[in-house]
Amino acid sequence: MQLTADFHTHTPYSHGKNTVFENAQRAKEMGLSAVAITEHGFSHVFFGIRRRQVDSLIAECKAAEEQLNIPVLVGIESNIRSIAGGVDLTEADYEKFDIFLAGIHDVIKYEHLSDCKIGWGNLLRWRFGMKEKPSLVKASTEAYINAVKNHPIDVLTHLNFRVRSDAVEVAKCCRDYGTYLELSGKKAHLSDEELDRVVQTGVRFVVNSDAHSVDRIGDVARAFEQIERVGVPLDRIDNIDGRMPSFRFAEFKKHM
């Protein structure tokens, strides 16, 4: 198993340590065909990129791409902000970005008070090792599904990281809408048993590092270990062994 491209990395625009150039340089050294810089979305209270910074992010990606001769995609890891599936990337932002990731994070501005539970509620239960609360699992599942239905999201990041949702139902929706599920090199966020059931849905995957520092660019060893353990068919993973994914956001933008 060889990674073709890493579609989830951060820089100091959103809590990462190294520059766009350094991330791209490392990706090039590792023999990757492309790298995406995917900053945390605007509603992330501490780590989100600000809209006023996007033009300079674009300029840095372009400069790195030209100097290093490797595609450097301008990306966002948007925050899912409500059970109704609201996200913090608007259609007016679309022209500035090449790739649209989305995930649930805790310290963000939610749309309504009642939406906070998908972040804070899940975080507290995870932190204190509390058992699943069915109404919260339902709300989190709905948030993921509604986000995928209502927005041209390329990749759902780290499904069920500090969140409990019905991963199989989320996967079915991703399969139907052409959104990839990410298998993260940071940590296996789905149990082996859960991933096995997710695989049965027919959803497609990408493997990413979620690197916040240059030493982790392209580091997907943990994901590869789980893929082998569970026996995920390799032809269902679209950014390994020379293959590149077909992303829905780029396709959507062609018809805007």
Q: Which chain residues interact with Zn ion by CB under 5 A?
A: 77, 103, 157, 210
Residue written as tokens 């849905």?
201
CA-to-CA distance for 68 and 157, rounded, in angstroms? 27
Q: Which is nearer to Zn ion, 219 or 229 (CB)?
A: 219
If one counts every other C-beta atom within 10 angstroms of the C-beta of residue 51, the result is 13
The angle, 0 to 180 degrees and rounded to 10, between the axes of the packed helices 192-200 and 221-230 is 70
Residue written as tokens 């649209």?
100
Shortest reach from residue 210's CB to Zn ion, in Å: 4
Q: Which is nearer to Zn ion, 141 or 208 (CB)?
A: 208
Contact between 22 and 9 under an 8 Å Cβ cutoff? The reply is: no
Q: Which is nearer to Zn ion, 157 or 165 (CB)?
A: 157
Shortest reach from residue 99's CB to Zn ion, in Å: 12
Shortest reach from residue 105's CB to Zn ion, in Å: 6
Q: Which is nearer to Zn ion, 88 or 210 (CB)?
A: 210
Shortest reach from residue 162's CB to Zn ion, in Å: 10
The beta-strand segments (E) located in the chain are 5-9, 34-40, 72-79, 99-103, 155-156, 180-184, 205-208
* Alpha-carbon distance values, 254 to 30, 201, 248, 250 (Å): 31, 29, 10, 7
Shortest reach from residue 111's CB to Zn ion, in Å: 19
Residue type, 101: L
Q: Which is nearer to Zn ion, 115 or 182 (CB)?
A: 182
CA-wise closest residue to 160 among 187, 196, 135: 187
